[in-house]
Amino acid sequence: MDETDGNHREPDREPSEYEMTKPRKPIFTTDQQQEQSDWPNRKGILKNPRFVVSGSIALFTFALLVASLILYMLRSTHQTTERAWVTVQNATIVGPLIANNVPRAKILFQNSGRSPALTTKIRLLMTVWTSGKLPDWEMPPILTTDAESVGVIGPGSVVSRGLYLMTPLSEEQGVHLERKDWFIVTLGVVSYVDIFGNPHETKLCLIWRDTSTESLSPCEKWNEAN
């Protein structure tokens, strides 16, 4: 036998153009197969006590935070609705603005809230403002030891307080007040505590611009209530 016959191999055949262009069948993985392959990992996580405890603690903490926030909002809304509100109801002044006269003012404070204002204190002062406008700094009056203790102002109640200029008007003050380049200003502060134990403060600034009437009008600033 010829040795060349035993060692003879057919040469490698190049693929035909049809075989080269023939599309191959893709291999698809169904969602069910993917889910089945992931299921052992999920079961492992669920069986691990560490993951279960951590997840439970996180869920409980989140629920606790949400409940606390809701409770705080409800309590804040309730306190705002039921608290006391002490503000100025009306203010009048009696002149005339002439030398040696002492102007006197009367201010009515009303509690428009639904509960009493407790441990109420009021401090008022009247001065001649030697300018046509108020300065840019903060309101000067603060509560001092000489503040008048009013006590309790019930809901819907009105408290009247009077004050006067400490010294009679001078000739110079009378002239400027008549020309309306100086003004009489009443400053005050009221502090009180609501039934929930929260402190509050009302600041007031009243000015006598129209001397043809006895009404004091609010200043452009320094009227605040919290």
Tell me the per-residue pLDDT of 65-118, one tens digit each, with 9 for 90 and over. Answer: 887 777 777 677 767 899 999 999 999 998 888 889 999 999 999 999 999 999
- Which of 44, 60, 82 terminates a domain? The answer is 82
Q: Per the structure, how many domains does the chain have? A: 2
Per-residue pLDDT, 169: 93
> Per this entry, what is the length of the chain?
226
> Does residue 221 surpass a pLDDT of 80?
yes
Of 28 and 92, more confident? 92
Per-residue pLDDT, 45: 53
Q: Is residue 193 domain-shared with residue 150, that is, in the same domain?
A: yes
Per-residue pLDDT, 87: 95
Q: Is residue 102 domain-shared with residue 135, that is, in the same domain?
A: yes
Whole-number percent of the chain with pLDDT over 70: 72
**135 confidence band (pLDDT: 50, 70, 90):** confident
Asked if residue 17 belongs to a domain, the reply is: no
Question: Percentage helix, strand, coil, to 5, in the chain?
Answer: 30, 30, 40
Measured distance CA(103)–CA(138) in Å, rounded: 25
Tally: H helices and E strands in the chain: 5, 9
Of 5 and 109, more confident? 109
**Residue range(s) defining the domain that contains residue 42:** 31-82
Q: Is residue 99 domain-shared with residue 209, that is, in the same domain?
A: yes
> Does residue 190 surpass a pLDDT of 90?
yes
Per-residue pLDDT, 89: 95
- What residue type is 36 in one-letter code? Q
